[in-house]
Amino acid sequence: MHIESPQPQYDVVVVGGGMVGASFALDLARRCDNADLKILIVEAIASSDLNDQPSFDARSTALSFGSKTIYEAMGLWSALAETVTPILQIQVSDRGRFGSTQLTHAEQGVAALGYVVENRELGRVLNHSLAASSVIEQLAPATITGVVPRASGMQLTVLNGDHEIEVNGSLVVLADGGRSPICKNLGIGHKQEDYGQHAIITNIAFELPHAGTAFERFTDSGPLAVLPLASFDGLNRGALVWTVAAERSADLLDCDDKRFLAGLTDYFGGRLGEITHVGERYAYPLVLTQAQEQIRPGLVLLGNVAHTLHPVAGQGLNLALRDSASLAQHLESAWRHQRGLGEMAVLQAYLDSQDADQQQSILFTDQMVKMFSNNELMKSSLRKLGLVGLELMPSLRNQFARAAMGLKS
């Protein structure tokens, strides 16, 4: 529920009410049976300011099969299922080289390998659930201007309108994105590896329907992915993530649609016939970022503020949701055993439980980028053998599919 002014004390304060922060808060409230747990979400953007109108250009997110199970457990999937586009198969290929493979939902024994959801639809479902919650309070728009560690947690200075308020939280969960000013204020550094690439993001339309197929195509400049989207005004839509060298992104943003589509066709080919439309284009630099500290007494980092991955395998949000579910599970146990939610031992147990998943996801994504964004003879030969191996060896293909589906090996 939305509030005008916060209380002085909360059990958990979530900074950032986006997909990760909202999902975490709802999961924790559910696990604790909506008891007298007090949760506050502080969000900088008012929900009424978000664009809620359908459009060809709507941004979207790929949810893994593992993320579907998380939202099912939260009781949210039935609402999301009406709006998602299932990924029934994934075609993986290497431009200009022999070797390809296809992952199918039938081979994995699931209804779909993953699902593509428009961000506004996921936001609508999350915001509706937050508004209906009796234990989650939302303060928006509001920003955090100061954070001071205390013996019992964290003290936050919240700018609400034109006045500041002091709020205390036994645990503060930072989910405010990769450029969190709070991390900087607390002296939490990040390790970064710049891939020298930019991702061009846009929606495109094809002559032929996608039939639930996602495409992952590797090129010398980086991977190119097309995710299936619901049709719009009779157009067969797909969501494009095109990785290019950093110095090329400005030209692809500025050129006219005809030249952009010609360049894209050269890389993607005619798999779905002619590419007929392109929407508004965006670009952002690709950098592997890892926080040097994810936990402190009374503090935990979730989502992009903890780790930002290359989008090549669609692991970023899905890893964050697994982190979120694990954290909520550990906090539920602490709550039921009357332990402090911000105790370092509680937070360390959470981090230990997720460390292998985080490291495997980061390694999986990082190695795919480096192997499939390189034209060196040795690496191009290895990736050709890798794709052939995936096609010829079902057990290897199954491992690759489970990683893509967000399932632990």
My answer on whether 43 and 131 are in the same domain is yes
192 sits in which H/E element: strand 190-206
Is residue 279's pLDDT more than 90? yes
- Token pair, residue 92, equals 């993986």
Please indicate, yes or no, if residue 342 is contained in any of the structural domains.
Answer: yes
Please indicate, yes or no, if residue 403 is contained in any of the structural domains.
Answer: no
3-state secondary structure of 4: coil
Please indicate, yes or no, if residue 300 is contained in any of the structural domains.
Answer: yes
> Is 376:86 a contact under the CB 8 Å cutoff?
no
3-state secondary structure of 11: strand
- Predicted local confidence at residue 261, as pLDDT: 97
Q: Is the dihedral of CA 221, 318, 408, 339 positive or negative?
A: positive
My answer on whether 325 and 223 are in the same domain is no
CA 70 to chain centre: 14
Is residue 388's pLDDT more than 50? no
My answer on whether 41 and 157 are in the same domain is yes
- Quickly tell me which residue has 């390998």 as its tokens: 113
Average pLDDT over residues 3-10: 93
pLDDT confidence tier of residue 6, bands split at 50, 70 and 90: very high
- Look at 44-58, 262-276, 347-361, 366-380 and tell me which has the smallest mean pLDDT: 366-380
Other Cβ atoms within 10 Å of 67 Cβ, number = 26
Question: End of a domain among 251, 286, 321?
Answer: 286
Q: Is the dihedral of CA 162, 24, 146, 38 positive or negative?
A: positive
Q: What is the pLDDT of residues 98-120, one digit of tens each?
A: 456 788 888 888 899 999 999 99
- Predicted local confidence at residue 222, as pLDDT: 80
Average pLDDT over residues 1-7: 91
Q: How far is 383 from 378, CA to CA, in rounded Å?
A: 9
Q: How far is 175 from 157, CA to CA, in rounded Å?
A: 17
What pTM value is reported for the model? 0.90
**390 or 140, which is more confident?**
140
Please indicate, yes or no, if residue 390 is contained in any of the structural domains.
Answer: no
My answer on whether 98 and 217 are in the same domain is yes
Is residue 268's pLDDT more than 70? yes
**356 or 94, which is more confident?**
356
Is residue 201's pLDDT more than 50? yes
Chain-wide mean pLDDT for the chain?
Answer: 87
Question: End of a domain among 263, 286, 309?
Answer: 286
Please indicate, yes or no, if residue 212 is contained in any of the structural domains.
Answer: yes
My answer on whether 274 and 158 are in the same domain is no
Please indicate, yes or no, if residue 153 is contained in any of the structural domains.
Answer: yes
Is residue 405's pLDDT more than 50? yes
- What are the Cα distances from residue 10, in Å, to 130, 172, 191? 16, 9, 32
Average pLDDT over residues 253-262: 97
Is residue 365's pLDDT more than 60? yes
* Beta bridge mates, 165: 158
Number of domains in the chain: 2
Q: What is the pLDDT of residues 300-329, one digit of tens each?
A: 999 999 999 888 667 889 999 999 999 999
My answer on whether 229 and 149 are in the same domain is no
My answer on whether 210 and 77 are in the same domain is yes
Please indicate, yes or no, if residue 48 is contained in any of the structural domains.
Answer: yes
pLDDT confidence tier of residue 383, bands split at 50, 70 and 90: very low
- Predicted local confidence at residue 387, as pLDDT: 39
My answer on whether 199 and 274 are in the same domain is yes
| CATH number where 334 lies | 3.50.50.60
For the chain, the distance separating the N- and C-terminal CA atoms, rounded to the nearest angstrom, is 39
Average pLDDT over residues 262-279: 94
My answer on whether 277 and 301 are in the same domain is no
> Is 240:261 a contact under the CB 8 Å cutoff?
no
Q: What is the pLDDT of residues 148-175, one digit of tens each?
A: 999 989 999 999 988 999 999 999 999 9
My answer on whether 199 and 305 are in the same domain is no
* Beta bridge mates, 10: 169
- Predicted local confidence at residue 101, as pLDDT: 76
- Look at 108-112, 190-194, 290-294 and tell me which has the smallest mean pLDDT: 108-112
Average pLDDT over residues 40-54: 74
Q: Give me the domain span that covers residue 216.
A: 63-119+195-286
- Label each residue of 104-141 as H, E or C: EHHHHCCCCCEEEEEHHHHHHHHHHHHHHCCCEEEECC
- Token pair, residue 288, equals 């592997």
Q: Angle 365-240-210 (CA atoms, 0-180°, nearest 5)? A: 105
Average pLDDT over residues 192-211: 94
Q: Which of 258, 240, 218, 274 is nearest to 390 (CA)?
A: 218
- Predicted local confidence at residue 57, as pLDDT: 76
CA 121 to chain centre: 15
- What are the Cα distances from residue 31, in Å, to 28, 34, 217, 224, 334? 5, 8, 40, 39, 12
| CATH number where 232 lies | 3.30.9.10
3-state secondary structure of 21: helix
- Predicted local confidence at residue 310, as pLDDT: 81
- Predicted local confidence at residue 187, as pLDDT: 94
Q: How far is 10 from 298, CA to CA, in rounded Å?
A: 12
My answer on whether 102 and 153 are in the same domain is no
Please indicate, yes or no, if residue 110 is contained in any of the structural domains.
Answer: yes
Average pLDDT over residues 170-193: 93
Is residue 349's pLDDT more than 80? yes
- Predicted local confidence at residue 216, as pLDDT: 87
- What are the Cα distances from residue 121, in Å, to 68, 138, 171, 303? 15, 19, 29, 19
Average pLDDT over residues 175-188: 91
My answer on whether 351 and 281 are in the same domain is no
Question: End of a domain among 244, 259, 286?
Answer: 286
% of the chain surpassing 90 pLDDT: 67
Q: How far is 49 from 312, CA to CA, in rounded Å?
A: 30
The total number of residues shown for the chain amounts to 409
CA 36 to chain centre: 30
**53 or 159, which is more confident?**
159
